[in-house]
Amino acid sequence: MKRGGLFDLVNACLLLLCTSMYLGTGWSLILFSFPIAPQLTVDNYSLQFVPQVQAATRFFTWMTAVMLLSSGVLAWRERKTSLRWYPLGVLLAVVAATLLTRIYIFPYNDEMAAGITSPERLGEVLGAWMRMNRVRVGLWTVQWLLTLGYFVHRVLRAEQPAGARVRYGLAVPPRREAHA
């Protein structure tokens, strides 16, 4: 299978789709859900929080596995090119976001799903949950930017004339030998 062919393009597009879904989910959480946190009480937070988080967890668990596989395959397929750094970066950011989620965010999810009855504890848990999610959205943003960078790099490389080199982001024509 030729590197840079249809398989690689489809795989890279799949990775872009997944990173875009994380990016959109994360930023919509910050922009639209976090601002209502002060209005949540022990009586109403569960309806606003628990079913959505449980559904997202089920979906994103599978999507994360797809992202790990996709970025690993893309990095392997690009291993002999400078493009390998983009999927490797995505792979590392996915691992970091997954560890952050499993170690720090899931315990808060579980506590909220079990039912919080103290307003003070709800405030503590929501505050910590939002802080951890801001970090995770940062990682999701990095994943998306790296995936976008992969495509930009491919486009810029494809637009260069044959034999041109890139130095400092600028196309440099090949050296001509001086003949005496």
82-101: average pLDDT? 97
Higher pLDDT pick, 119 / 162 = 119
**pTM summary value:** 0.85
131-150: average pLDDT? 98
13-21: average pLDDT? 98
157: confidence class by pLDDT, cuts 50, 70, 90: confident
In the predicted model, is pLDDT for residue 67 greater than 60?
yes
Higher pLDDT pick, 154 / 67 = 67
163: confidence class by pLDDT, cuts 50, 70, 90: low
pLDDT of residue 140: 98
Alpha helices in the chain (DSSP H): 6-28, 45-77, 85-100, 106-114, 119-159
Average pLDDT over the chain reads: 90
Q: Which amino acid is at 49?
A: F
Give dist(CA 16, CA 125) in Å, integer: 32
DSSP string, 90-142: HHHHHHHHHHHIIIIIHHHHHHHHH----HHHHHHHHHHHHHHHHHHHHHHHH
Give dist(CA 156, CA 178) in Å, integer: 29
66 in Cβ contact with 14 (< 8 Å): yes
Nearest to 105 by CA among 134, 63, 66: 134
In the predicted model, is pLDDT for residue 174 greater than 90?
no
CA dihedral angle for residue 44, residue 50, residue 55, residue 60, rounded to 10 degrees: 120
35-60: average pLDDT? 94
In the predicted model, is pLDDT for residue 47 greater than 70?
yes
